């Protein structure tokens, strides 16, 4: 069983790279229909293999599973190590699932029927899988930064409006500069400890003052990716200019890389620094929740509404991570997975309107419930999921985070609950404006409800959101043992 599982992990990691190789050298640019069929087949098989990894994953083992190490440069003690635990497993599943949906989302748009577009998504999938599998901080950094290249191209080339070039450069430079500080810290760690292997470094002690400095350098790299206030400037612009599939993968997975980095590196490597900087994180997170929610209320672009709401939700995530207890950390993981699904669904809903009417300005849409009933049913469900309505996935995450915060301070709980009220305000306000006002035909005279393909995508997302909200134990069993292992290192 172990040999089969390891080969399955290796194959899952290699499939997107194999797809890239075949797409470049063996498929002609003129075979446009075959290009998207092939890309969808590769991403579907990759997702199925990631599901097999989940099936073969033992929920009662604390250690990393499917662990394998390849010695690359013996003289410099640089090894390529891969493995999965309960935390990285579900982020891997989320990545392969959403990349597969991104191919479906782009299925009928003729401007995406070119080889380079699908190559970007296959390369993006390869890098994301590597990020969640590698157990070496140097290789993590390499793939952590490599995701910028395909996203830069997706936004800059296939973006929807005239500011796409500016948005792509803003996204690239902001996130790259923040990560350079982390690269400096990695070089320093290697020069002092002689290794970049994560499992070895977990059992290596850093002095108190050194932890404070290294934590700040890693924090700058992760905070830009989440993004935390005040490192969020690139996010609304990148979302507004990206194509629908680009926004889906940006909100669904790329915003989770910072939270994953905190869990995988900052907490186990620098525990004293995490305790020291706790007040700072709480302050920035609460500002993100309140500021993000209030800013969402005054937006007129549908994509920017969802982008700023994502900043508020990521504030809840960082509160949960740095509550430094089991409930808070498990809640933050569930909320990241939930937000990856719900924000992707919301951006897809906005993309449907933009494809039909070539605008995302809120004032042009009113009373769509009368002419697009199926669309509004799904839009209503995703809107209520976005405010953590009971029975949906975000409710589980936020509930666990609030339980974790109650063990730290009830003041934090009170301010966070005010953020929940604000999130309900902007979500219900948006839903009312789009769905239930009087239908106006001043701007549009033709209306079309969702197609079978769009219905199928929304149905899948709705099912997973309900599954995670109604039966979270199917996810929490694996997450719990990995979180306990993290606490063993932390304390």
Q: What is the mean pLDDT of the chain?
A: 88
Q: Please state, in angstroms and as integers, the Cα–Cα distance from residue 97 to each residue in 45, 104, 244, 295, 479, following that order.
A: 10, 11, 16, 30, 19
Can you tell me whether residue 82 is helix, strand or coil? strand
Q: What is the dihedral of CA 324, 405, 229, 301, to 10 degrees?
A: 130
Phi/psi-derived region of residue 149, left when phi > 0, alpha when psi is between -120 and 50, beta in every other case: alpha
Q: Going along 161-261, which residue ranges are E strands?
A: none
Rounded to whole angstroms, how far apart are CA atoms 174 and 462?
A: 33
Asked whether the predicted pLDDT for residue 462 surpasses 90, the reply is: yes
The stretch 406-412 carries a mean pLDDT of 88
Asked whether the predicted pLDDT for residue 1 surpasses 50, the reply is: no
The stretch 434-455 carries a mean pLDDT of 80
Give the contacts of 275 (CB within 8 A, at least 6 positions apart). Answer: 324
The stretch 333-350 carries a mean pLDDT of 93
The stretch 156-163 carries a mean pLDDT of 82
Q: What is the DSSP letter of 362?
A: G
pLDDT of residue 287: 93
pLDDT of residue 98: 95
pLDDT of residue 476: 87
The stretch 423-452 carries a mean pLDDT of 81
Selected residue with higher pLDDT from 440 and 231? 231
Asked whether the predicted pLDDT for residue 262 surpasses 90, the reply is: yes
pLDDT of residue 342: 94
Selected residue with higher pLDDT from 454 and 441? 454
Region of poorest pLDDT, from 361-370, 407-416, 422-431, 458-467: 361-370
Asked whether the predicted pLDDT for residue 90 surpasses 60, the reply is: yes
Rounded to whole angstroms, how far apart are CA atoms 447 and 95?
A: 33
Rounded to whole angstroms, how far apart are CA atoms 89 and 381?
A: 27
Rounded to whole angstroms, how far apart are CA atoms 335 and 402?
A: 12
Q: Which residues of 470-482 are buried (b: 16+ CB within 10 A; e: fewer)?
A: eebeebbebbebb
pLDDT category of residue 465 using cuts at 50, 70 and 90: very high
Rounded to whole angstroms, how far apart are CA atoms 94 and 100?
A: 10
Q: Is residue 227 reached through a cis peptide bond, with omega within 30 degrees of 0 on the bond before it?
A: yes
Q: Which residues of 455-466 are buried (b: 16+ CB within 10 A; e: fewer)?
A: eebbebbbebbe
Asked whether the predicted pLDDT for residue 441 surpasses 70, the reply is: no
Contact between residue 329 and residue 405 where contact means Cβ atoms under 8 Å apart? no
Residue 407, token pair as written in the block: 């063990």
Q: Is the dihedral of CA 20, 105, 161, 307 positive or negative?
A: negative
pLDDT over 90 percentage in the chain:
46
Question: What is the enclosing helix (H) or strand (E) of 42?
Answer: helix 32-55
DSSP 220-238: HHHHHHTTPTTS-THHHHH
Rounded to whole angstroms, how far apart are CA atoms 322 and 168?
A: 31
Contact between residue 374 and residue 450 where contact means Cβ atoms under 8 Å apart? yes
> Using alpha carbons only, what angle is made at residue 63 by residues 483 and 325, rounded to the nearest 5 degrees?
15
Asked whether the predicted pLDDT for residue 74 surpasses 80, the reply is: no
Residue 458, token pair as written in the block: 């929304």
Angle between helices 393-406 and 410-435 (to 10 degrees): 160
pLDDT of residue 485: 82
- pTM for the structure as a whole: 0.93
Q: Which residues pair with 71 in a beta bridge?
A: 79
User: Of 300, 482, 471, whose CA–CA distance to 391 is shortest?
Assistant: 471
pLDDT category of residue 369 using cuts at 50, 70 and 90: confident
Q: Which residues pair with 80 in a beta bridge?
A: 70
Q: What is the per-residue pLDDT across 33-51, written as a single tens digit (0 to 9) for each?
A: 888 899 999 999 999 999 9
Give the contacts of 73 (CB within 8 A, at least 6 positions apart). Answer: none
Task: Provide the H-helix boundaries in 71-163.
Answer: 86-105, 115-133, 137-146, 148-158
């Amino acid at each position: 069983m172990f040999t089969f599982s390891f080969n399955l992990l290796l194959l899952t990691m290699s499939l997107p790279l194999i797809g890239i190789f075949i797409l470049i050298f063996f498929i002609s640019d003129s075979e446009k229909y075959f290009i998207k069929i092939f890309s969808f087949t590769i991403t579907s098989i990759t997702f199925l293999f990631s599901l097999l990894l989940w099936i073969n994953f033992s929920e009662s083992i604390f250690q990393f599973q499917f662990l394998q190490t390849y010695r690359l440069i013996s003289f410099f003690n640089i090894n390529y190590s891969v493995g999965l635990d309960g935390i990285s497993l579900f982020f891997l599943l989320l990545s392969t699932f959403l990349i597969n949906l991104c191919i479906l989302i782009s299925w009928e748009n003729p401007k995406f029927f070119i080889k380079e577009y699908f190559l970007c998504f296959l390369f993006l999938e390869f890098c994301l899988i590597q990020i969640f599998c590698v157990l070496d901080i140097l290789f993590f950094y390499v793939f952590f930064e490599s995701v910028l290249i395909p996203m830069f191209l997706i936004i800059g080339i296939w973006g929807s409006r005239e500011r796409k070039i500016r948005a792509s450069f803003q996204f690239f430079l902001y996130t790259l500069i923040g990560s350079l500080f982390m690269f400096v810290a990695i070089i320093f760690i290697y020069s002092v400890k002689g290794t970049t292997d994560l499992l070895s470094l977990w059992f290596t002690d850093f002095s108190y003052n050194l932890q404070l400095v290294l934590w700040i350098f890693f924090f700058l790299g992760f905070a830009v990716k989440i993004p935390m206030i005040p490192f969020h400037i690139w996010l609304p612009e990148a979302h507004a200019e990206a194509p629908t599939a680009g926004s889906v993968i940006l909100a669904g997975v790329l915003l989770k890389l910072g939270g994953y980095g905190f869990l995988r590196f900052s907490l186990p490597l620098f525990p004293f620094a995490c305790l020291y900087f706790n007040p700072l994180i709480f302050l920035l997170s609460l500002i993100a929740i309140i500021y993000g929610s209030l800013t969402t209320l005054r937006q007129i672009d549908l994509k920017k509404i969802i982008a700023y709401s994502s900043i508020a939700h990521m504030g809840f995530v960082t509160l949960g991570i740095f509550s430094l207890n089991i409930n808070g950390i498990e809640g933050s993981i569930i909320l990241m997975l939930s937000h990856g699904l719900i924000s992707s669904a919301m951006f897809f809903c906005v993309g449907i309107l933009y494809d039909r009417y070539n605008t995302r300005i809120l004032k042009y849409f009113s009373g769509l419930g009368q002419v697009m009933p199926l669309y509004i049913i799904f839009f209503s469900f995703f809107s209520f999921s976005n405010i953590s309505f009971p029975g949906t996935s975000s409710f589980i995450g936020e509930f666990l985070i609030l339980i974790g915060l109650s063990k730290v301070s009830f003041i934090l709980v009170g301010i966070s609950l005010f953020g929940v009220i604000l999130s309900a305000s902007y979500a219900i306000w948006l839903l009312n404006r789009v769905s239930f006002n009087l239908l106006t035909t001043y701007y549009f005279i033709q209306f079309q409800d969702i197609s079978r393909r769009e219905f199928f995508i929304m149905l899948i997302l709705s099912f997973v959101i309900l599954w995670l909200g109604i039966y979270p134990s199917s996810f929490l069993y694996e997450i719990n043992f990995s979180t306990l292992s993290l606490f063993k290192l932390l304390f």
